[in-house]
Every structure is written in structure tokens, then in C-alpha cells.
């Protein structure tokens, strides 16, 4: 090889190795053409998100489980809904849900608009069919006026309720974490240990093959051999290859959102990373995703990955519940 070729080769390797742009925030918050983001819509969506009157007995709101202080999760293994009903899955964060094309653990919704009506109707969550929500809100003059102003000629319908809630959710974009400062060139922003952890995350651990991009997920559905009975994506797509597969979750603020996994079965980040770096809880489980292999991470390496994941924590959300709701 000539000197010039070697130089070009080294430079190209350097460029590839240092392409950190995949971890950076996209310039725009995506929104569907028929539901562009507006301030009024987000403000109305916020009221609806926090208003327990959207549940059958006025006791549960979206924010009862997606609690802002806990980075929009609830800190219990499985969600607790109306009348203390225990759900079957762990509550995911809704931060950065604007960027998601696949929603719910089993991927059954394709948009936030479609997703928003699910929990209203779910018996174990808010237990109020959309039709009844519409009827209930139409009796509240304050909401009638707000919807008329926000959605001229449409008013209160199940679609406008969903559009407003989805728009509020799109406003919940993660803020700047130490990792983001590092990606933008501040070498002091994270520790050497965390930098090593990031290297393990992207290389030996191959975590990046699923947890990639600004939101640390490619939204793929995978069976990671946890070995519980939840059929996951198989319920939606009847091909047996999807048995026990769940959506790859974001890792933003993950140090603050225990318990982990769709079943909330793991309480520490160390254990979750250990499972992910060593081929799952039951390595020999039939049906494990072919991309999810035993990467043989030692406890020492796991700790480094954990220090890296801790750098994905931004400051605590300071969104307060509205003081007054429309009457
Ligand atoms: C009783 C607790 C509870 C309530 C109330 C609740 N959620 Fe959820 N939410 C969950 C759980 C549990 C899941 C995961 C369910 C699943 O995947 O099957 C979830 C999933 C979601 C997701 C998908 C996130 C992702 O990463 O895929 C969004 C968005 C969401 N909820 C928004 C809402 C909105 C909007 C409301 C109010 C209309 C609401 N939730 C009410 C517990 C709750
Ligand atoms: C083949 C895709 C894939 C790979 C590779 C992968 N993960 Fe995951 N990860 C997932 C899926 C899917 C889940 C959710 C599984 C479930 O709940 O059933 C998950 C869950 C997690 C969770 C729990 C997050 C939460 O909020 O519950 C952490 C932490 C995590 N992964 C870290 C890692 C680390 C670290 C690595 C590398 C050592 C890794 N993952 C490799 C797909 C993957």
C-alpha cells in the first residue's frame, strides 16, 4: 500500500469510528400530516392526560401510571388501574414516544393517535369506552368550549380526543443528558468508566444492534428469553416466530425507570444488563431472537455498561399536573 492509501484508510476508519451523529437528536419532532403540532392542541391534550374524569369512576388518569416525576413511569412491576386492578405488563415511559412508529410492548399500535384510546377502554386501566368518554366530556361546558376553539367544526369526538392527547405526548421529548453533552464534544461530561461502557455497548455487547439511534431503540420485536407466559407480539401477528417477542424499549433515563422488562421482573439495572449481555434469563430457551446471543459480559463489564447507561439520565421532568380542569 502506498502512503496515501494508508492515510486514507486510517482517516476512513477514524470517520467511521467517530460517527456519533446517529446518537444525536433529529432536527424535527415528527407528527402526522393530518395532526400537526400546535400549542393549543398540546395544552388541551395535557388537560385530558391528567384528568381522571376520563375514567369510569373519575379515579384514574393517564398520569396515574405515566407519572412525570418518575420519568413517566410508575415504579411498580405491573400497572395498577381502576379499583386497584392489576395489569399484566410494566408501564413504559412515554418520553420520546413522538419518535416511535411501533407502540405498546407487543407493537399493536402504529401511531400515538391510535394508541391513546387503548388505555381509556382497557378494563384494567381506565375502563371507559371512547363513546362514553365523548358523552361525558360533552357534559362539561369548559371542554366543549375548548374543543370548539381547538378543533373548529369538529368539537369533541373520539378522534379529536386522541389527536389532542397524542400532540401533548409529542411534546415530551427527552432533554439534555451528560451523554448528549459528550456526543456533542464535551469530553468531561462523562467518566472514563462510562466511555468504556459505551464501547462495550456498541462493540462486544452488540447492544447497538437493537438499542440504536437517538432514542436507543430500533423498535424491533425480539424474544430475549425471559421465559414467562406472555405471548407478546404473537397475539397480534399469529406467526409462531413472534412468540414471546416484545418491542425493544428506549434506554433514555433507564437508570430511573426500574423495574425492568415487559413483566417488571427485574429490579436493578445491573441484573437487566447482565441478562441482556449473557443471552437472556434462559439461554437455551427455544424461540430466542437470532440477534440476541450470549455476549459473555463479565460482571465488571456489566458495571461499565451501567455507568454508561446512567449518563442517559436527564434532569427530572418538572411538568406539574394542571391546577384546574375545565368545568
Ligand atoms: C393503569 C396504568 C395505565 C394508565 C392509566 C395508562 N397507561 Fe399507558 N401504558 C400502561 C402500560 C402497562 C403500557 C404497556 C401496555 C402494553 O404494552 O400492553 C402502556 C403503554 C402506553 C404507551 C406506549 C408506549 C410505548 O413505548 O410503546 C403510551 C404512548 C401510553 N401508554 C400512553 C397512555 C395514555 C395517553 C393514557 C391515558 C389515555 C395512558 N397511557 C394510560 C399503563 C397505563
Ligand atoms: C436483539 C435485540 C436486543 C439486543 C441485542 C439487546 N437488547 Fe436490550 N432489550 C431488547 C428487548 C426486546 C427488550 C425488552 C424485552 C422484554 O421486556 O421482553 C430489552 C430490554 C432492555 C432493558 C430493560 C429496559 C426497560 O425499560 O425495561 C435494558 C436495560 C437493556 N435491554 C439493555 C441492553 C444492553 C445493555 C444490551 C447489550 C448488552 C442489550 N440490551 C442488547 C432488545 C435487545
Residue 65, phi then psi, degrees to nearest 5: -110, -40
Dist CA 166 CA 169 (whole Å)? 5
Res 20 pLDDT > 80: yes
Q: Residue 186: which pLDDT band, with cuts at 50, 70 and 90?
A: very high
**Cβ-based neighbours of 302, under 8 Å, separated by 6 or more:** 270, 273, 274, 277
Res 246 pLDDT > 80: yes
Q: Is the CB of 205 under 6 A from ligand 2?
A: yes
Segment among 11-25, 111-125, 154-168, 236-250 with least mean pLDDT: 11-25
In this structure, the number of other CB atoms found within 10 A of the CB of residue 22 comes to: 11
- Measured from the Cα of 269, ligand 2's closest atom is 29
Res 15 pLDDT > 70: no
Res 255 pLDDT > 60: yes
* pLDDT tens digits, 294-321: 999 999 999 999 999 999 999 999 999 9
Cα of 286 to ligand 2 centre, how many Å? 18
Cα of 91 to ligand 1 centre, how many Å? 6
**Cβ-based neighbours of 16, under 8 Å, separated by 6 or more:** none
Considering all CA atoms of the chain, what is the largest pairwise distance in Å, rounded to the nearest integer? 80
Which of 107, 102, 80, 106 lies closest to 91, judged by CA?
Answer: 80
Q: Is the CB of 257 under 6 A from ligand 2?
A: yes
Cα of 126 to ligand 1 centre, how many Å? 10
Q: Residue 291: which pLDDT band, with cuts at 50, 70 and 90?
A: very high
Cβ atoms 277, 224 nearer than 8 A: no
- Confidence (pLDDT) at 2: 56
Q: Residue 283: which pLDDT band, with cuts at 50, 70 and 90?
A: confident
- Measured from the Cα of 221, ligand 2's closest atom is 12
* pLDDT tens digits, 167-181: 999 999 999 999 999
Rounded mean pLDDT, 15-32: 84
Rounded mean pLDDT, 17-38: 90
Nearest-CA residue for ligand 1 atom 43 is 65
Q: Is the CB of 42 under 6 A from ligand 2?
A: no
Q: Is the CB of 291 under 6 A from ligand 2?
A: yes
Cα of 193 to ligand 1 centre, how many Å? 35
How long is the chain?
Answer: 327
Please, what is the average pLDDT of the chain?
94
Q: Is the peptide bond before 259 cis (omega within 30 degrees of 0)?
A: yes
Cα of 174 to ligand 1 centre, how many Å? 18
Res 127 pLDDT > 60: yes
Res 1 pLDDT > 70: no
Return the higher-pLDDT residue of 13 and 96: 96
The CA angle 193-195-198, to the nearest 5 degrees, is 115
Q: Residue 19: which pLDDT band, with cuts at 50, 70 and 90?
A: confident
- Confidence (pLDDT) at 284: 87
- Confidence (pLDDT) at 8: 55
Res 17 pLDDT > 80: no
Residue with cell 439495572: 269
Cβ atoms 194, 301 nearer than 8 A: no
Q: Is the CB of 265 under 6 A from ligand 2?
A: no
**Cβ-based neighbours of 192, under 8 Å, separated by 6 or more:** none
- Measured from the Cα of 201, ligand 2's closest atom is 37
Cβ atoms 260, 90 nearer than 8 A: yes
* pLDDT tens digits, 267-281: 999 999 999 999 999
**Which ligand has the shortest distance to the CA of 93?**
1
Q: Residue 18: which pLDDT band, with cuts at 50, 70 and 90?
A: low
Dist CA 224 CA 204 (whole Å)? 17
Q: Residue 5: which pLDDT band, with cuts at 50, 70 and 90?
A: low
Dist CA 253 CA 177 (whole Å)? 9
* pLDDT tens digits, 130-181: 999 999 999 999 999 999 999 999 999 999 999 999 999 999 999 999 999 9
**Which ligand has the shortest distance to the CA of 289?**
2
Amino acid at each position: 500500500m502506498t502512503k496515501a492509501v494508508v492515510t486514507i484508510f486510517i482517516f476512513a476508519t477514524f470517520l467511521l469510528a467517530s460517527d456519533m451523529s446517529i446518537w444525536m437528536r433529529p432536527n424535527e419532532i415528527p407528527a402526522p400530516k393530518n395532526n400537526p403540532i400546535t400549542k393549543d392542541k398540546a395544552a388541551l391534550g395535557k388537560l385530558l392526560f391528567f384528568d381522571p374524569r376520563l375514567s369510569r369512576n373519575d379515579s384514574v388518569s393517564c398520569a396515574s401510571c405515566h407519572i412525570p416525576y418518575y420519568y413517566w413511569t410508575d415504579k411498580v412491576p405491573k400497572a395498577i388501574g381502576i379499583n386497584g386492578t392489576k395489569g399484566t405488563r410494566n408501564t413504559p415511559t412515554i418520553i420520546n414516544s413522538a419518535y416511535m412508529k411501533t407502540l405498546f410492548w407487543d407493537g399493536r399500535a402504529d401511531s400515538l393517535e391510535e394508541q391513546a384510546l387503548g388505555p381509556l377502554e382497557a378494563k384494567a386501566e381506565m375502563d371507559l369506552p371512547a363513546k362514553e368518554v365523548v358523552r361525558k366530556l360533552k357534559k362539561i361546558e369548559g371542554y366543549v368550549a375548548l374543543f370548539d376553539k381547538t378543533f373548529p367544526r369538529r368539537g369533541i369526538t373520539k378522534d379529536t380526543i386522541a389527536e389532542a392527547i397524542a400532540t401533548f405526548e409529542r411534546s415530551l421529548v427527552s432533554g439534555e443528558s451528560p451523554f448528549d453533552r459528550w456526543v456533542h464534544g464535551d469530553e468531561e461530561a462523562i467518566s472514563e468508566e462510562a466511555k468504556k461502557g459505551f464501547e462495550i455497548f456498541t462493540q462486544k455487547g452488540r447492544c447497538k444492534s437493537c438499542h440504536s439511534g437517538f432514542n436507543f431503540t430500533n423498535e424491533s420485536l425480539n424474544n430475549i428469553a425471559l421465559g414467562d407466559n406472555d405471548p407478546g407480539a404473537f397475539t397480534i401477528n399469529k406467526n409462531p416466530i413472534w412468540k414471546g417477542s416484545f418491542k425493544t424499549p428506549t434506554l433514555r433515563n433507564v437508570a430511573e425507570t426500574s423495574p425492568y422488562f415487559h413483566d417488571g421482573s427485574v429490579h436493578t439495572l445491573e441484573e437487566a444488563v447482565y441478562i441482556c449481555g449473557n443471552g437472556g434469563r434462559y439461554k437455551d430457551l427455544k424461540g430466542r431472537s437470532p440477534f440476541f446471543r450470549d455476549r459473555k459480559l463479565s460482571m465488571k463489564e456489566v458495571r461499565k455498561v451501567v455507568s454508561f447507561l446512567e449518563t442517559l439520565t436527564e434532569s427530572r421532568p418538572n411538568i406539574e399536573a394542571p391546577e384546574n380542569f375545565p368545568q
